[in-house]
Structure 1
Amino acid sequence: MSSFRPRIAIVGRFAGSTSALRFAAVVNARALLESVWAAGGDPVTLLPVEGVDWTERLVGYDGVLLPGGGDLDPATYGEPSRHESVYDVDAMQDAVDLDLARVALAGGIPLLAICRGLHIVNVVRGGSLVQNLPVHHRHHEHDVLFDRAHARFGVAGPSVRASCYHHQALDRLGEGVTVVARATDGVPEAVLIDAPGWAIGVQWHPEDTAASDPDQAAIFAELVRQAESSSRPSRR
């Protein structure tokens, strides 16, 4: 059996309340990293740094995962004001995520965008967001129904049970962003992203239930499979 594990780049999230790390930290969700590892990938947390050449920085990585996190500054998608519910806005985090998404998509690097990551991709492509849903999907599980393309996500059938934590959603769709699944209340839940490589986004958090739900684990497995098939021979 090959010991090769595709390296999956995951930009870190700033955190200010991690006392064991002297309060200020760069983190990723444990369940997210474990889900990538269980799928056969090697998750690597990247320090958010502005002004870097992402094409150069991503050399040696086989896939990109844009994780969840706080809200994007509404100014990034042309909104003149910010709803009072918008939280954890960080200008550096926004700039880093947006730059990374542009480079990954343009370069055809396999990409999985989760929750905030989905919002990032939509904004990069010129789309916008609903700043605050009338009914939040926080600490919430619901069914998601695909109208097509569920196999692109690795899931077995057109319906999945999704664990959600978000108060925002896609509004105006960006160029090349196609909704292929929705929640029962109509909120967009999964998209295909037109790019040279495999690129998908989900509004829910598959890492929450990947350890017990084969459909959620399959999303990470598909990312790893795509990353492995696109990696340079010298990396094997």
Structure 2
Amino acid sequence: MRPIIGITSYAQPAKWGAWELPAALVPLYYVESVEQAGGRALVIPPSEEAVEETLDVLDGIVFSGGIDIDPTLYGADRHPATDPAQAHRDAGELALLEAALERDLPTLAICRGFQLLNILRGGDLVQHLPDEVGHEGHRETLGVFSEHPVDIKEGTRLESILGSRHGSVRSSHHQGTGRVGEGLVETAYAEDGSLEAFEDPSKQFVLGVLWHPEMEEDDKRLFEALVEEARIYRKRSTLSRA
């Protein structure tokens, strides 16, 4: 039986055919990446309701990318370049992430998810990274992924999955990491020195990356690692209920 991997979804207007309506959606690349890695994807709409019931059916979870997080959640004023807040998504995903970590549910946090994990652990964000690094190489054009290499620290879980240098990751973020949250270990950097990944070694599998591995057509190693850990989690959970 395939492990069930939850994927958090966007909540915003969308258009299909003659319709334009509010929607809970996620780019299909996330779903395809999970299923190519051997999991079964389950899309999760943002909500503070039934968090525990949702996690009861999951063996692993992906926190997806999307709109900027409300800076008041980490004690900052809003930068002019920061997106308008989506309080409903922020609150729902923070509740879901906190409960997932309490269960030690295998977790892959991508872009916005990476930032959410940092905030939950007491970290903060650089709201407009070009102000710090002097270029827009992490998101050169809205709606188009930029590409750049990352260097991965030796001896980390991420290095065991991807190796010490991972070229041409695809990114689309204008925000970066300021203070790193409690318990998170820095694992990868862009050439400009900005942090691109971290992990929590106290957990079974908690990895955060600022790039978008779902967009790497021929490299699903992060998703494969998540699915493998989800199998272990399911087996452990089944034994504990027996």
Alignment pair present for 1:133 and 2:129: yes
Say how many residue pairs are matched: 226
Q: Over the residues paired in the alignment, what is the CA RMSD in angstroms?
A: 1.8
Q: Answer whether contact 1:15 1:26 (CA < 8 A) is retained.
A: yes
Residue 13 (structure 1) aligned to one of 7, 10, 13 = 10
Distance apart, 1:53 and its partner CA: 4.1
* Aligned mates of 1:230, 1:53 — CA distance in 2: 21
Query: 3-state DSSP class of the match of 2:181?
Result: coil
* Distance (whole Å) between structure 1 residues aligned to residue 24 and residue 42 of structure 2: 12
Give the gaps of 5 or more residues in structure 2: 140-144
CA contact (8 A) 2:15 2:21 kept: yes
Which residue does the alignment assign to 2:69?
A: 72
**After the TM superposition, which residues 91-170 of structure 1 pair with which residues of structure 2 at under 5 Å, given as runs?**
91-134=87-130, 135-136=135-136, 137-138=138-139, 139-152=145-158, 155-161=161-167, 162-170=169-177
- The one of 204, 221, 225 equivalent to 1:222 is 225
Distance (Å, rounded) in 2 between the aligned partners of 1:144 and 1:181: 6
Contact 1:66–1:112 (8 Å) recurs in 2: yes
In structure 1, what is the equivalent of residue 60 of structure 2? 63
Q: What's the % identity of the aligned pairs?
A: 35
Give the SS at the match of 2:56: coil
Displacement after TM superposition at 1:88 (Å): 4.5
User: Which TM-score applies when normalising by structure 1?
Assistant: 0.90
In structure 2, what is the Cα distance between the partners aligned to 1:149 and 1:198? 15
SS at match of 1:89: coil
Q: What's the CA shift for 1:23?
A: 2.6
When normalised by structure 2's length, the TM-score is: 0.88
Offset of residue 190 of structure 1? 1.1
Q: Deviation per CA, 1:95-116, whole angstroms, max 9, x where unpaired?
A: 0111111111111000000000
Does the Cα contact within 8 Å between 2:196 and 2:210 map onto a contact in 1?
A: yes
In 2, Cα distance between equivalents of 1:62 and 1:82: 36
Change (3 A) 1:82 1:196: same
1:90 matches 2:93: no
Q: Which secondary structure state, in structure 2, belongs to the residue aligned with residue 58 of structure 1? A: helix
Mapped to 2, the partners of 1:89 and 1:194 lie a distance apart of 31
Q: Which amino acid aligns with 1:100?
A: L
Indicate how the Cα distance of structure 1 residues 38 and 154 shifts in structure 2: closer, same or farther if over 3 A, else same.
farther
Give the Å deviation of 1:177.
1.1
Residue 54, structure 1, aligned to residue 23, structure 2: no
